[in-house]
């Protein structure tokens, strides 16, 4: 276990700076554009159980059906059976529509009279000869469910003539596509919950087992993380965040949870972390989840999540018109807990630790002020010039704690850390701060991620000049930079 030497010299630093409190921050992500939730109060007992996925070798012959179609018009086993039963009426109807069957394209038709069905939702699968990545099959599954809910209110059985290796991906996408957060919408306005989805495949038993072991735990983890992020600040705050995720983890093997309260933070010298939450009547917490599924002695991956359960900006208060959506400022912590849930749920052969840095940033009578100087666990001191730049403070202490406690092989920081990233990249991209060596792995995920950084000498000098003045911070427009490795 590495120990960090304390810096006894007072260091005055702008809190807008990315703090150098550990030696090896090799990867950092910023997630933005979490889907917004509705706000009218209603029944809080609404079922929030994730949708169940089932597989069957054949669909029930009644009601509606979702049917996959390739661009060449060829039908899979279910479609072929319907076409035969209807004397070719199905293929004739598809041809008459001039349905292109491009990937995720949909069209609702009346089912042939002899088919046993009433309506069929056609879903385009693209070119059958084209090798599609897993992500594309997942998108098709998600789009199919959303189109089916729009057409039928409840998604009917879905029959896709997909390669067996990707049928589980279709199911994964379908489950995530069925997600919605309307817990507080009145019953008459609430969308009908998709309690279960049925996918038709000739290899039902084999694919059911594969899906349950590998993808369903990940889908559940994302579901729970979305729910936590969508809840309002009066429902999710540091203590209730901990209770919520303890409940999620309770049925998973190999998970150990430690919770550090405000007194523990003070005892550890985490003044930066504690200071962010000291203005709230709901004190801060640090939730540490350990999962050691890899070889004994292997250094773990440690994932950190920013968990500001509501960020008013503190004394440096935010404008009121968009403050309501700062309930999402704990999405990094929710994602971190979701990652640990997914790893433990699929019994991954890796050692991992998740650390959620949880605080509520409010302008109470005991709140920290602009100009306050706080001490970090590393021994460095920070001058807080803007209390609305609080994320770096909670992460500074959490990162240092994780670094010296676990001597990790890799550190990952997930945070809604700065609006500068959204202003630069828009709502659909996450900003990545990492060595170039990680580019290939990140892009292979298929996600919208852009690596950022300060690579040239001029950029580095823009910070160096401020260091010489003692404040160690860039101007506002330059406050979104990558630390040196």
How would you class 294 by CB atoms within 10 Å of its CB: exposed for 0-12, middle for 13-18, buried for 19 or more?
Answer: middle
Report the C-alpha gap between 80 and 293 in whole angstroms.
Answer: 45
How is residue 223 written in tokens?
A: 């579901």
38: helix, coil or strand?
coil
> DSSP state, 136?
H
392 included as an active-site residue: yes
DSSP notation for 435-447: -GGGHHHHHHTT-
Measured in degrees and rounded to the nearest 5, phi and psi for residue 213 equal -80, -35
Q: Is 318 a catalytic residue?
A: yes
The residues, ordered by sequence, that sit 6+ positions from 130 with a Cβ below 8 Å of its Cβ are: none
Q: How many angstroms separate the Cα of 68 from the Cα of each of 92, 120, 158, 199, 320?
A: 16, 10, 8, 11, 47
Q: Find where tokens 């509705």 sit.
A: 38
DSSP label at 388? T
Say how far apart CA 463 and CA 470 lie, in whole Å: 11
Determine the distance from the C-alpha atom of residue 180 to the mean position of all C-alpha atoms in its chain, rounded to a whole number: 14
Beta-bridge partners for 29: 414, 432
β-bridge partners, 306: 357
From residue 2, give the alpha-carbon distance in Å to each of 41, 400, 405, 407, 423: 50, 11, 7, 6, 38
Check if the beta carbon of residue 395 is closer than 8 Å to that of residue 304. yes
Return d(Cα 180, Cα 178) in angstroms, integer: 7
For residue 182, count other CB atoms closer than 10 A to its CB: 17
Q: Is the dihedral of CA 297, 303, 304, 309 positive or negative?
A: negative
Q: Looking at 322-407, which runs of residues are DSSP E strands? A: 351-361, 373-375, 381-383
Active-site hit among 246, 318, 422, 451: 318
H or E segment at 144?
Answer: helix 134-152
Per DSSP, 202 falls in state: T
Marked catalytic residue, from 175, 380, 392, 482: 392
- Any idea which residues carry the catalytic annotation? 318, 392
């Amino acid at each position: 276990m590495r120990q960090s030497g304390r810096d006894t010299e007072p260091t005055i630093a702008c809190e807008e700076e990315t703090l150098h409190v550990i030696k090896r921050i090799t990867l950092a992500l910023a997630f933005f554009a979490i889907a917004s939730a509705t706000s009218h109060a209603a029944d809080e007992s609404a079922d929030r159980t994730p949708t169940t996925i089932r597989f069957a070798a054949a669909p029930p012959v009644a009601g509606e059906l979702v049917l996959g179609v390739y661009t060449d018009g060829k039908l899979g086993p279910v479609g072929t059976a319907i076409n035969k039963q209807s004397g070719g009426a199905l293929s004739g109807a598809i041809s008459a529509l001039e349905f292109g069957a491009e990937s995720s394209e949909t069209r609702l038709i009346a089912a042939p009279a002899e088919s046993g069905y009433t309506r069929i939702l056609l879903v385009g699968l693209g070119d059958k000869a084209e090798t599609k990545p897993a992500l594309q099959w997942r998108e098709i599954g998600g789009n199919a469910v959303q189109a089916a809910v729009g057409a039928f209110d409840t998604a009917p059985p879905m029959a896709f003539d997909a390669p067996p290796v990707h049928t589980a991906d279709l199911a994964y996408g379908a489950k995530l596509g069925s997600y919605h957060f309307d817990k507080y919408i009145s019953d008459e306005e609430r969308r009908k919950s998709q309690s279960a989805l049925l996918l038709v495949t000739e290899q039902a038993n084999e694919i059911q087992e594969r899906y349950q072991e590998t993808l369903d735990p990940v889908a559940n983890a994302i579901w729970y993380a979305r729910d936590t992020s969508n809840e309002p600040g009066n429902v999710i705050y540091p203590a209730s965040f901990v209770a919520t995720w303890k409940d999620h983890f309770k049925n998973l093997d190999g998970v150990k949870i430690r919770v550090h309260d405000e007194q523990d933070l003070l005892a550890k010298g985490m003044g930066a972390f504690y200071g962010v939450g000291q203005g709230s009547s709901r004190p801060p917490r640090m939730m540490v989840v350990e999962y050691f599924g890899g070889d004994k002695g292997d250094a773990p991956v440690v994932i950190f999540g920013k968990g500001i359960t509501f960020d008013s900006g503190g004394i440096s208060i935010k404008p009121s018109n968009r403050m309501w959506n700062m309930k999402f400022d704990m999405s990094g912590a929710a994602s971190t807990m979701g990652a640990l849930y997914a790893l433990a749920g699929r019994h991954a052969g890796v050692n991992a630790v998740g650390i959620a840095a949880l605080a509520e940033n409010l302008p109470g009578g005991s709140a920290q002020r602009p100009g306050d100087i706080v001490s970090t666990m590393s021994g460095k001191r920070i001058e807080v010039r803007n209390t609305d730049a609080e994320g770096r403070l909670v992460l500074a202490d959490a990162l240092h704690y994780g670094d010296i406690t676990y001597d990790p092989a890799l550190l990952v920081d997930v945070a809604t850390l700065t609006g500068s990233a959204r202003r630069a990249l828009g709502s659909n991209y996450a900003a990545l701060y990492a060595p170039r060596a990680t580019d290939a792995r990140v892009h292979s995920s298929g996600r919208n991620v852009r690596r950022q950084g300060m690579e040239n000498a001029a950029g580095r000098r823009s910070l160096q000049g401020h260091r010489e003045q003692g404040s160690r911070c860039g101007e506002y427009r330059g406050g979104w930079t990558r630390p040196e490795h």
